[in-house]
Amino acid sequence: MHLRILAVLATALFLSMVPGVPAAAQESGGGEESVRGTITDGDGEPVEGVDIIVETLDGEEVGVATTGPDGSYELELPGPGEYRATIDQETLDELELELRNPDRATLEFPVRPGQSRPLLFPLGESTRSISGTFVRALQLLVEGVKFGLIIAMCAVGLSLIFGTTGLVNFAHGELVTFGALAAWIANVLLGLHFVPATVVGVLAGGLAGAALDKGLWRPLRRRGTGLIALLVISIGLGLLVRYIFLYQFGGRTRPYAQYVAQRAISLGPITIAPKDIVSILVSLAVLAAVGIALQRTQAGKAMRAVADNPDLASSSGIDVERVILLVWAFGGGLAALGGTLLGLTEQVSWQMGYQLLLLMFAGVILGGLGTAYGALVGSFVVGVFLQTSTLVISPELKNVGALLILILILLVRPQGILGQAERVG
């Protein structure tokens, strides 16, 4: 049993040493960093002749980019680091245009090695008229729905794993990243189309989940390791795996081979890219299937039974260990799918899952820790809240808002929306 844990860790280390994605070369590559973007007016028409001034945070000017006839601009940067870009108010005044949000005439942003950083300076009615706000709210709502569904998919496993084993899995974000990376390798390195590559990613995520349970968590449970120790181990595992990803994959974000830039289509008052519609539909279908499977199939019923009360489930003839293995495989697969869909909109990076982890926790706690449906509802609410909150607060603070909700909900209703009121302290 000791040997098995060691074997898992040795495998992890071995994997980290295998030369994978040409990570070594790309870091020193340099010279590829740039900022780019397109300036369009409120009606979506490109605007020519707007200056964007880019400087380092110390105030040293890097250069000025001017938009071309198609409204686009690009400026090479000397290297990765922190930069500040300001849209030139004078050139805007000449064209009688204004920023939709005058507070965001200056943007500060980090640029990773090799990154071509897109910048957004939305123009249009700066007087936030009622109809404008309404349309924007609708647009954000749709984005929120998409994001919420993705969080929900990732979080179902997190909640079920907690319910069945009591483990608060701080390494769950790494399952999300793993799925997205596996799909990226199949898609870009092996040349598979994105759709079969997603299937590969999901299978890999499910296998990884099952392997983690069989190789690490089950032996630890058998030893009777305490839940707090397990929690800390999951933090260590997350850190180890996250940096193996960075080591192998490098620090830059990478897109999938297909569906990178899609022209958004108008759908009534809102605009949306077709891939986002597909993402929403796929998420809805998968989550509905998950709901039905949990409700109707024998395996699903067994999962809920074990999550409800492991001892009782065991004494009514359910093979608890088998169910837990199933939960890990199932949770890993769903997390991988969530990661792939997230990578479709936000590209793939080594810490995409970790950045999602706290939002997953927020969703799971909001819905009720340990329940499957609670995780769905809670995560959905978090996603929608996160996006729509940018109506009133600056987008860089939207995560702060979501995490504050997490703390507030614990104050008012610690068992969550769908959780049963029980003593948790």
Structure tokens at 334: 């769903």
Q: How far is the CB of 410 from other proteins (least distance, A)?
A: 5
Closest CA to 63 of 88, 42, 40, 39: 88
Q: How far is the CB of 211 from other proteins (least distance, A)?
A: 15
Provide the pairing of β-strand 116-118 with 34-38.
parallel
Q: How far is the CB of 82 from other proteins (least distance, A)?
A: 6
Q: How far is the CB of 216 from other proteins (least distance, A)?
A: 9
For other proteins, the closer of residues 43 and 311 by Cβ is 311
Closest CA to 306 of 177, 151, 162: 162
Distances (CA, A) of 15 to 4, 8, 72: 16, 11, 42
Handedness of CA 62, 71, 252, 141 (dihedral sign): positive
For other proteins, the closer of residues 242 and 304 by Cβ is 242
Q: How far is the CB of 183 from other proteins (least distance, A)?
A: 23
Closest CA to 366 of 404, 323, 337, 395: 404
Site residues (vs other proteins, CB under 8 A): 2, 5, 9, 13, 16-17, 19, 23-24, 27-28, 57, 82, 106, 108, 110, 166, 168, 220, 225-229, 231-233, 235-244, 246-247, 358, 361-362, 365, 369, 394, 396-397, 399-400, 403-404, 406-408, 410-411, 414, 424-425
For other proteins, the closer of residues 224 and 317 by Cβ is 224
Handedness of CA 179, 180, 181, 187 (dihedral sign): positive
**DSSP three-state, residue 255:** coil
For other proteins, the closer of residues 285 and 397 by Cβ is 397
Q: How far is the CB of 406 from other proteins (least distance, A)?
A: 6
Max CA distance (Å), the chain: 78
For other proteins, the closer of residues 235 and 293 by Cβ is 235
For other proteins, the closer of residues 138 and 231 by Cβ is 231
**How many other C-beta atoms lie within 10 A of the C-beta of residue 141?**
15
Distance CA 73, CA 95 (A): 17
